[in-house]
Structure 1
Amino acid sequence: MISEVDDNMSGSIDFGEFLKVVEGQKQRAENVDDETDMIDAFVACGGQADKGGHVKRDTLIKIIKHDFGLTIDIEELINKIDTDGSGQIEFEEFKILLSS
């Protein structure tokens, strides 16, 4: 999945490449009912392929801030989408986060 968006072949995704992934997810969500890429991202963050399980809040923060180096206020976004306040992001919450 990373190799598909890693335009400069650096082995990691920079902010611009990440935005392309997010924009692509938004367009696919609007145009196609195929959640395969969303599920792949969920699994890569710690969820399960059957949409079960969850992504831990701390894991998601680490991925966004440290792995991607983004400066967005991910904590605020998580607080908005973690409707049950569990600190664990279920698949439906994860979808909302990527579609925001």
Structure 2
Amino acid sequence: MFQAKLGDQVIAQAEEADVIHIEGNVYFPPSSVVEGVLRDSPTPYTCPWKGECQYLSVRDGEQWLTDRAWTYPDPYPTAIEKVGRDFSGYVAFWKDVRVSEA
């Protein structure tokens, strides 16, 4: 079981078989993320091999931490091929969010 925690709050949790590891990051399926803790950020980014990225802000109590998570809504077909699984919509987190095996 993998967990993503911000402070003491678990914001995502999924079984090992359901997460995807890409470039040292754990990507959680969208259904494993707690509802209401993420919102779209306007920061633009396109990864040369994965495609257009959607950055996300993460709610920490009453404040929003900008660009602390990201997802690839429509990764390039070649990226899906390279990873070996479709990771469309999966969410990864920046260092403020502790990701570990529970």
**Quick check: TM above 0.5?**
no
Q: Greater share of strand residues, 1 or 2?
A: 2
Q: Greater share of helix residues, 1 or 2?
A: 1
User: Scaled by the length of structure 1, what TM-score is found?
Assistant: 0.28
Higher RCO (CA-CA < 8 Å; seq separation 6+):
2
User: Scaled by the length of structure 2, what TM-score is found?
Assistant: 0.28
